[in-house]
Chains A and B, each alone.
Chain A
Amino acid sequence: MAADKVDPIHQFQIHPIIPLHIGGYDVSFTNSSLFMVVTIVLASAFLYMSTSSRALIPGRLQSVSEMAYEFVGNMLRDAAGKQGMQFFPLVFSLFMFVLVANLIGLFPYFFTVTSHIIVTFTLAILVIGTVLVYGFAKHGFGFLKLFVPQGVPGYLLPLVVAIEIISFVSRPVSLSVRLFANMLAGHITLKVFSGFVVSLSAFGAVGIAGSVLPLAMAVALSALELLVAFLQAYVFAVLTCMYLNDALHPSH
């Protein structure tokens, strides 16, 4: 499989660009790191340049930046209320990072940062870590009320608390796996269909005629992936807002 020309897994391989080892760990600057840098530079540059004129009546690019800002702002305000706005920078940078990383990954030959579970899991841990640290700092042990819903009969309480704890612990897993699996599966599917086009067109005229079908499929999938790229960034941000709401208001 690895020797195959259209190996769909090849795109996820990480290879070092600048080898670097610190304390026995391989922390080389890899293609993944490169695209993280590309992601933040592109996103920052867009947000910075588009708003540089500070126009009262925004141009197209400034409108896009403002829309993203207000979109995330409203999302957070709806989910976590006015108090939640202190997490606005975190949610906004998460949304922009995931969105731009997903979108960059759609370009041919580009590496998709979010198609690696460790990246999405680190982001998820960042979110849950913020929830835990803030929750305990603000409410002390009152934060544990999060696991004890009100109005539950006493004999059911142990069961409900266990379920609540399990659901809380599974949050970083579900949050990270959702994004990672979507990006991974989407890119593999795209690669497989594009691979069909290449393999089929090697069989001469008949093959080229036959390759129209997977080509059309690849085009349609590209559109779908564009939607998924946006949708997953949105879902990630929305869930972040909801989890942050738990940190702010632990008693349901």
Chain B
Amino acid sequence: MPDASFVFAQSLSGLTAAMFLFLIASGLSLIFGVLRVLNFAHGAFYMLGAYLAYQSMLWLGPGPGLFWIAALGAALGVALLGGVVERVLFRYLYGKEELYQLLFTYALGLILSDVAKIFWGTQQKSVSRPPELAGSFSLFGATIPQYNLFIIVLGPSIALAFWFVLQRTRAGRFIRAAALDRETLGALGVNVDALYTWVFMLASFLGGLGGALISPMRATTPGMDTEVIVEAFVVVVIGGLGSLWGTFLGAVVYGQVLSFGILFFPRFSIFAVFALMAAVLIVRPWGFLGRPLR
């Protein structure tokens, strides 16, 4: 039996991975919930977030506090791009067949990743951890990087803020209404087109933020977009498409299964995750907290 400090460290690393995935998957889930489009290009927004954070750090240079400005700027940049993409391109996809949507968003993702390659080349880029959180501390015999702890706190904070906006604000009511019945909402005098753009920008912001915040932990390279989109999809599917807390729960379960999977099946931890997804799809095809489709 592994000792307690190892189990503790392992669950925390699973939680860190989960919170990153939640950031990315929540945007994916939001776009599907409201706009009814499965956005395969979401991974590219995440990648652009990482590259923009890298670029901003180049401009800003090292220094206390600057990473946060870079990360926020990168996320805002990605949100802006998302807004343009929604206005100019996505607009024509609503209500179309899923196959067209899939092909379109997939193609968009490929184009965006090639654009990134034109700007930043194929060489790996690396962002340093912000000096404020560069250290680590010991807890119950486990070494915990401060940055990981920040991510673990950030995830639920964003989920709560999200929940608050959706449930308690006027804009949130509109978003929920748009998810249920777009036409009626429009007939009641709400500018649904603008609402869609805002929702898309918010989702892109979350994807971009995920990419920017992950850049101190991973190498920023071409191809990081396709890796993450598969994981985010698994999370959204097991959590329940379009459900905020479902996505959160899905991410947490995914992270823990991955972390502890390597204990029991050292060479099949990936298998454990996909076995979980298959099991969920068989037993509860609509996911943990999703609603069955009519």
Q: Do A and B bind each other?
A: no
Taking Cβ atoms with an 8 Å cutoff, the residues of B that contact A are none
Taking Cβ atoms with an 8 Å cutoff, the residues of A that contact B are none
